[in-house]
Amino acid sequence: MVSWVILSRRLRNKITISRVVILLLLGTVFFNEFLVYSLQALRWIKVPTIRNKEEELVILFVADPQLIGIQDEMGFPVGPIARWDSDRYLRNSFSRAYQHTQPDVVVFLGDLLDEGSKATKEEYLSYVDRFNSIFYETKFSKKVIIPGDNDIGGEGADLRTPFKVARFEKHFEPIEGIVNYFFIDLIKVNIFFVCVRIIQEMLTLKKVIFIAIKSSLFCSNNNNIKLLNMQYNSDLNHWPYKAKDMKNIHGFVEMDISKTVSLDEIMVPTCSYRMGVPHMGYGVAIINKSGLMKYAVLWLPSRYPLLYVYIVVLILAVILLCVEFIFSSIGGQTHKRGYR
């Protein structure tokens, strides 16, 4: 009993408001910047990491990262902090998504940069460095990148020019072409020039994932992907079509893309909280050589509530420190009076 009383007194002497505030701040940072991502990853659907690429492939879809630029953001210190926080969110979430899926292919669905279309040379180079740092793991997988209007223009008064396209292709990859990978072909199509004849010339290809540059029949900056398996058929005007809205789905959605002529649509949410949407995530598809595809979304933790938590904790910390200062001042004055 005596030892318990002594221990309690020692704890009261050691536990001060200042130390409680420090622990509160450290705990908040640890949860917001590390633990929340790991906890969210535990909720993700399991993806097989041991597989035969000749029979099964995993594709990780990344939509609208939109790395924050310099021109449209506020100056110091808000701008740098906003860029740092957004980059860190993308880095933390992507690294865990990559580790969870260990994808064979990573597909970026446009709008890599928020100001890629109008960036200066120095700004653009800094954006590219940030992109490569955030999505570092892609060097270990096949990578397919398509541009969005924020990258090369094409929306409203922001015109697409040969200079913008050439700059994008220099630092990333060609905006059109076919990427062959085992039993699938990933086709990047410029829909300004696509026509039925071009499609017919592609009918001898394997199972196909069409990826377009602008909103169109196949894929778009609205984060839609169309997956096709096509063989020769004189009638291309009556494709079976079904849309899959992923917003309310939290498991695998199965699709059979082995049909002779079929078009299936999936939706991939943005991975950036700066897009102002409540739900962010990465898309993951498991495609079997037989034609069976399973698709799911790896939903991410909301960022803005965590930022609000920082504000509340900081306000609480200031209040507690003020209370401690007031009581210590009163205690000091009382001690002086008693001494006199």
Torsion of CA 296, 300, 305, 311, to 10 degrees: 180
Q: Which residue has the tokens 């397919």?
A: 144
Whether CATH 3.60.21 fits 48-302? yes
Between 277 and 330, the more confident residue is 277
Between 324 and 240, the more confident residue is 324
Q: Where are the domains of the chain?
A: 16-45+304-340, 48-302
Predicted local confidence at residue 121, as pLDDT: 95
Q: What is the mean pLDDT of the chain?
A: 80
- How far apart, in whole angstroms, are the C-alpha atoms of residue 250 and residue 150? 30
Nearest Cα residue to 56 out of 123, 104, 99: 104
CA 141 to chain centre: 17
Per-residue confidence band for 220, with pLDDT thresholds at 50, 70 and 90: very low
- Looking at the predicted structure, is the pLDDT value of residue 284 above 80? yes
* Cis amide prior to 77 (ω within 30 degrees): yes
- How far apart, in whole angstroms, are the C-alpha atoms of residue 200 and residue 48? 35
- Looking at the predicted structure, is the pLDDT value of residue 30 above 80? yes
Residue pLDDT, tens place only, 292-307: 888 899 999 999 999 9
Q: Which two tokens stand for residue 10?
A: 């020692």
Q: Which two tokens stand for residue 135?
A: 């999505």
- How far apart, in whole angstroms, are the C-alpha atoms of residue 57 and residue 41? 21
Mean pLDDT: which of 53-62, 93-102, 325-334 is highest? Answer: 93-102
- How far apart, in whole angstroms, are the C-alpha atoms of residue 301 and residue 322? 33
Span 309-336, average pLDDT: 81
Contacts of 299 (CB under 8 A, 6+ apart): 40, 43, 44, 250, 269, 279, 280, 281
- Looking at the predicted structure, is the pLDDT value of residue 169 above 90? yes
Span 35-44, average pLDDT: 95
Predicted local confidence at residue 164, as pLDDT: 95
Nearest Cα residue to 266 out of 299, 239, 227, 228: 227
What φ, ψ does residue 7 adopt, rounded to 5°?
-60, -40
Span 95-119, average pLDDT: 94
- How far apart, in whole angstroms, are the C-alpha atoms of residue 188 and residue 91? 26
Predicted local confidence at residue 8, as pLDDT: 54
Number of residues assigned to the chain: 340
Predicted local confidence at residue 331, as pLDDT: 60
Between 299 and 154, the more confident residue is 299
Per-residue confidence band for 235, with pLDDT thresholds at 50, 70 and 90: very low
**Angle at alpha carbon of residue 273, lines to 271 and 275, rounded to 5°:** 90
Residue pLDDT, tens place only, 130-145: 999 999 999 999 999 9
Span 249-276, average pLDDT: 78
Per-residue confidence band for 309, with pLDDT thresholds at 50, 70 and 90: very high
Contacts of 282 (CB under 8 A, 6+ apart): 60, 61, 62, 93, 94, 97, 268, 271, 297, 298, 300
Nearest Cα residue to 65 out of 34, 87, 47: 87
Per-residue confidence band for 51, with pLDDT thresholds at 50, 70 and 90: very high
Predicted local confidence at residue 183, as pLDDT: 83
- Looking at the predicted structure, is the pLDDT value of residue 54 above 60? yes
- Looking at the predicted structure, is the pLDDT value of residue 243 above 70? no
Which has the minimum average pLDDT: 60-69, 105-114, 249-258?
A: 249-258
Q: What is the DSSP secondary-structure string of 92-151?
A: HHHHHHHHHH--SEEEEES--BSSTTT--HHHHHHHHHHHHHHTGGGGGSEEEEE--HHH
Predicted local confidence at residue 187, as pLDDT: 78
* Residues paired with residue 187 on neighbouring β-strands, in sequence order: 178, 210
Between 26 and 19, the more confident residue is 26
CA 118 to chain centre: 23
Per-residue confidence band for 105, with pLDDT thresholds at 50, 70 and 90: very high
Q: Which residue has the tokens 């220099």?
A: 170
**3-class DSSP state of 332:** helix
- How far apart, in whole angstroms, are the C-alpha atoms of residue 317 and residue 145? 45
